[in-house]
Amino acid sequence: MAEFTADQKEVVERILSIDRTDYYKILDVDKKSSDVEIKKSYRKLAIKLHPDKNKHPQSAEAFKKLAKAFEVLSDSAKRSVYDQTGTDPDSRGGPSMSSSGAGFGGANPRMNPFMNMNGGMPQGFMFDDDILNMFFGGPGGGFGGNTFTFHFGGPGGATFQAPRGFGQRPQRPRPGTRAGGQHGEGNKLWDIISQLGPLLVVLIPVILGTLFGDSSSNYSKLPKFAFETSPGFSAERLTPTHKIPYYVNPASLEAYSGGSERKLRNLDQSVENYYINDLRNKCQREEAYRDRMIEDSYGWFFVDKDKLELAQQLELKSCNRLRDLNLI
């Protein structure tokens, strides 16, 4: 008895017969396909190809090829580069551009005050890795380096940036102290307190506002939404300022609002904040990728004019969308 079916064999051989960078064909979609359609096709094929389910000897190779296609086409910045160049964006020396804004442009993104745009789960408010290193002695700890960033209140919340060493005083030897002695330990503790003091003055009001503010900051209770309609998301709404259409499950919408106009306004504003923040993150990645391409076009002795022209003509879709909204 064969360990794999004829259908499993056919799908493996089909994937392996396609050029490795023909991502649309690999996923059995086309350039006009939406993010939802791409995700749906990927899931369907992944079930058929996964080595745990498909025992064909080349299923792992085919699955890896499928995963690479989905990685590129599910990321707006990478997809934009691929559509313009026809090549693997990661092979051009660009920075990693994993998608931020979980669910943006796809199905069921959920707002959560304890989840950042990359899916991380700090408690209460969000820290970049650098600030964790500052407290726990990791790379760059003790306020080394240039800057660190704080994010509060989830999507649309406040952002605070400060130079590393913010509030730090130059260390001076004190009379009567020796290296490793008790006075030295006391001085170290005092230095830490003096470093954090000015920072806490700024952070405490923001933290308190986040924790004890009104219900408009409680993103975790918002219903799931999508920016494209689908059978489960058929109730269309518009955001207040930029009139961005989005879709909610009718039953979830009714359960959330209970007919309250205030809650509906809060939902509309929260979705708009999410949409704009996600666009800004993607725009930053697109610009960084373009700048890297420009940098790579400059060699030691000459400029690769073709690469430079390609970089300069690269379409920055998220940035263009922000311009359309008069946000940059």
Q: Are both 25 and 67 inside the same structural domain?
A: yes
The residue from 192, 217, 242 where one domain ends is 217
Q: Are both 226 and 213 inside the same structural domain?
A: no
CA Rg value for the chain? 25
pTM recorded for the entire structure: 0.42
In a domain, 168, yes or no: yes
Q: Are both 226 and 318 inside the same structural domain?
A: yes
Q: Are both 245 and 275 inside the same structural domain?
A: yes
In a domain, 134, yes or no: yes
Total count of domains within the chain = 3
Contact 123, 114 (CB under 8 A): yes
pLDDT at residue 203, as a whole number: 66
Q: Which domain, by its residues, includes 267?
A: 222-324
| Residue ranges in the chain modelled with pLDDT below 50 | 1, 92-148, 150-156, 158, 163-177, 179-180, 212-217
In a domain, 93, yes or no: no
Q: Are both 253 and 208 inside the same structural domain?
A: no
In a domain, 116, yes or no: no
Beta bridge partners of 159: 151
Alpha carbon 83 to chain centroid distance? 21
Q: Tokens standing for 127?
A: 């820290």
The residue from 185, 202, 217 where one domain ends is 217
Residue-by-residue DSSP string for 303-316: B-HHHHHHHHT---
Q: Are both 239 and 208 inside the same structural domain?
A: no
pLDDT at residue 206, as a whole number: 56
pLDDT at residue 208, as a whole number: 60
Angle at 159 between CA 158 and CA 160, to 5 degrees: 125
In a domain, 96, yes or no: no
In a domain, 249, yes or no: yes
Q: Are both 134 and 208 inside the same structural domain?
A: yes
Contact 111, 274 (CB under 8 A): yes
Q: Are both 242 and 154 inside the same structural domain?
A: no
The residue from 217, 245, 267 where one domain ends is 217
**What's the rounded Cα separation, in Å, for the pair 82 and 69?**
11
